[in-house]
Amino acid sequence: MQRSPYFLLLGLLVTLLLVGCRDKQIRFSHRMEGTWEITREVITLIKPDGSTETTVDRENAGVLELNDDNDDKFFLNYNLTVDGSNYSWVNLPFQCDEERKRVLFYYFYCDDIFGCDMIATIEEDKPRRQQWSFFRQSGSEPGGTVHRKVTWVLEKM
């Protein structure tokens, strides 16, 4: 039996496997660093009976800037401007989750530690195009709760 070539091959395969398993969050962070234009914003009300009402559908809705000023491999800082909004988001933490299925905007709705974050579901994840949606309860009608869905299409500038 020739031992050395087989053990060498096994060792090489194990090494390749480990190298290939780079953290998803770090890879997403590298992809997202930069300036993204919100090329489309759609706001939809989802009614209890399944019908929907689109209240906003506009292009060039704002700009999302993500930078790595604090050298944290998992987190970026976000600066967000949304046209027509009274809010401003400056230098706040942003990350994706470990499975790269959601993005987390910390202190999005308010300044408190709890209850102020916005978590959006990643619907499209490409190097220069992203689509995210986030939801809130928005009142009620006969039949149940109305939900407000905001969808952003982002393209890298």
Partner 1 sequence: MTRALLFFCLLPFFTIAQPTHHGGLVLRGGYEYSEFTGSDFNDFVRNYNAYYGGNMKSPMDTLALTASSHPEMGIGVRYYSGENFGFSTSLILNYGQRKFGTESTFANDIVTAADFRVRDWTAQIDLGIHIKKVLFLHGHLAGRFRRSVLDLGYYYQDGSYSLGNEYDILGVYQANTTTLDVGGGLGLKLGPVFIPVSISFPTNAFSDDGLLTLMDFDKRQIRWNDLPRDFETWVNDPASLDLDEGFVRAQSFRTWRINIGIELLIGG
Q: How far is the CB of 88 from partner 1 (least distance, A)?
A: 21
Q: How far is the CB of 110 from partner 1 (least distance, A)?
A: 13
H or E element that contains 84: none
Q: Which residues form the interface with partner 1 (CB under 8 A)?
A: 1-2, 6-7, 9-10, 13-14, 25, 44, 46-52, 74-75, 93, 95, 97-99, 101-102, 104, 106, 113-114, 117-121, 133-137, 143-145, 147, 149
Give bridge partners of residue 156 from the DSSP assignment: 36
Is the CB of residue 145 less than 8 Å from the CB of residue 136? no
Q: How far is the CB of 83 from partner 1 (least distance, A)?
A: 23
1 or 19: CB nearest partner 1: 1
Q: Would you put residue 144 in left (φ > 0), alpha (ψ -120 to 50) or beta?
A: left
List of residues 6+ apart from 92 with CB closer than 8 A: 77, 78, 79, 105, 106, 107, 108
104 or 156: CB nearest partner 1: 104
Full DSSP string of 68-82: -TT--SS-EEEEEEE
Is the CB of residue 91 less than 8 Å from the CB of residue 75? no
Q: How far is the CB of 157 from partner 1 (least distance, A)?
A: 26
133 or 156: CB nearest partner 1: 133
122 or 156: CB nearest partner 1: 122
List of residues 6+ apart from 133 with CB closer than 8 A: 120, 121, 123, 149, 150, 151, 152
Q: How far is the CB of 104 from partner 1 (least distance, A)?
A: 6
40 or 147: CB nearest partner 1: 147
